Amino acid sequence: MIDDASRRRLQRLMTLSLAGVIFTVAVILVGVFTRLVDAGLGCPDWPGCYGHLVVPDASRAMAHSPDAPLEVFKAWVEMVHRYVASALGLLVIALVALGAPLRRRPDYPWGVSLALLAVILVQGAFGAFTVTLKLWPQVVTLHLLGGLAVMLLFLWLYLRLRRFASGRLTLGGVAPPRRPLTSLWWLAVALLMAQIALGGWVSSNYAGIACQGFPTCNGQWWPAMDWSEGFHLTQSVGPNYLHGQLHADARTAIHMGHRLGALVLGLALLALAVRHRGEARLRPWLGALVVCFGVQLGLGIANVLLWLPLWLALLHTAGAVALVIAMAMAIWCWRESGAESARQHAAKQMTEKEWVHV
């Protein structure tokens, strides 16, 4: 039984966790904007900017880093990104502190809260490595995936808190079973994560317009490509990777890999939607998955045809975020529908026993 004080605390926790989802999306988009305007190295050091917590004037910047001339706009873009990311970290700490008194309650998502804290700390480290390793593509891609992981943990925490607050947690003191993911679900999830990682790899290696034209690439269905170099994951650390280091054929391979990944992912999502079209509770989120994928595909094509305009590239990232959220919600509904069926079956059995007793 949840008392009034705990219920108020839970309400605050749910509000903060939902705000965290929205705030994380904003931080991801600010990070992408930072990258798209080539401001990732707007400040050559970390966590400050030319040794200061705010962007200094040109003379102080020159005294601190004479080999990295100050570009005021890029420096401020990078620092705004750091400020909002730091605020997100404080939000996570507040969530953990606020939820600590409830940590011993059955089914309270304390583990999710701690996982969120751990991931946000790792994400902060990746933010530092992005600068100190001069936009090394591996770190930039992992930094994007880390941001999505933070968003998913905020969302999962909110859903778990909402379930906890509802009081429908157990059946006779035993947690109801939740449906495990089938092989088709795991395939769709793996393909979605791989495709997002490919998108990050395209961006971090500046391969977004390595292919001109669609559906062909540079006027060919299968252009010259260097797959081994394009997906060589042990690139040396040290060079400045701003604007990329790979030659044209390697970038073309990365771009084509992303296109082929989109095709396979689309087929998997369609198969998932068709397979579970009869489940009313699941249908809206599977429909959202398919629609988001269609929009995302259109945005990707438009980015190529229009030469990667800033606003369209941002929308493409937002589409990827929407896909991840739709997949997470579909998985939640799939798992919870098993628990709901168990509750209904238990209630039916209890009613039948009462009738027999009468």
191 in the same domain as 108: no
Asked whether residue 174 is assigned to any structural domain, the reply reads no
Asked whether residue 173 is assigned to any structural domain, the reply reads no
- For 2, residues 6+ apart whose C-beta sits below 8 A from its C-beta are 10, 165, 167
Q: Give the pLDDT confidence score for residue 96 in this predicted structure.
A: 97
Of the candidates 166, 200, 220, which is a domain's last residue? 166
What's the domain count of the chain?
A: 2
355 in the same domain as 220: yes
128 in the same domain as 211: no
What is each CA distance from 276 to 82, 84, 332, in whole angstroms? 42, 39, 14
Q: Give the pLDDT confidence score for residue 88 in this predicted structure.
A: 97
Q: Give the pLDDT confidence score for residue 168 in this predicted structure.
A: 62
Cβ neighbours around 222 below 10 Å, total: 8
Q: Give the pLDDT confidence score for residue 234 in this predicted structure.
A: 85
Asked whether residue 50 is assigned to any structural domain, the reply reads yes
Q: Give the pLDDT confidence score for residue 358 in this predicted structure.
A: 46
138 in the same domain as 30: yes
Q: Give the pLDDT confidence score for residue 59 in this predicted structure.
A: 96
302 in the same domain as 158: no
What is each CA distance from 121 to 116, 125, 147, 319, in whole angstroms? 9, 6, 11, 26
pLDDT tens for the chain, 358 residues: list them. Answer: 577 888 999 999 999 999 999 999 999 999 999 999 999 999 999 999 999 999 999 999 999 999 999 999 999 999 999 999 999 999 999 999 999 999 999 889 999 999 999 999 999 999 999 999 999 999 999 999 999 999 999 999 999 999 999 876 555 545 667 899 999 999 999 999 999 999 999 999 999 999 999 999 999 999 999 999 999 988 888 789 999 999 999 999 999 999 999 999 999 999 999 999 999 999 999 999 999 999 999 999 999 999 999 999 999 999 999 999 999 999 999 999 865 554 444 444 444 454 444 4
220 in the same domain as 149: no
Q: Give the pLDDT confidence score for residue 174 in this predicted structure.
A: 54
Asked whether residue 172 is assigned to any structural domain, the reply reads no
Q: Give the pLDDT confidence score for residue 6 in this predicted structure.
A: 85
239 in the same domain as 151: no
189 in the same domain as 139: no
202 in the same domain as 100: no
Asked whether residue 206 is assigned to any structural domain, the reply reads yes
Helical H runs in the chain? Answer: 4-36, 58-64, 72-99, 110-132, 137-166, 183-204, 227-230, 248-275, 283-305, 310-357
d(CA 258, CA 301): 12
Instruction: Confirm if 96 and 154 have CB atoms less than 8 A apart.
Output: no
pTM score over 0.85: yes
C-alpha closest to that of 155 among 334, 340, 335, 331: 331
Domain that holds residue 265: 179-358
342 in the same domain as 227: yes
269 in the same domain as 124: no
Of the candidates 122, 145, 166, which is a domain's last residue? 166
Asked whether residue 243 is assigned to any structural domain, the reply reads yes
Q: Which residues are catalytic?
A: 78
Asked whether residue 221 is assigned to any structural domain, the reply reads yes
β-bridge partners, 330: none
Assigned token pair, 186: 């795991």
Asked whether residue 139 is assigned to any structural domain, the reply reads yes
Of the candidates 166, 192, 214, which is a domain's last residue? 166
44 in the same domain as 92: yes
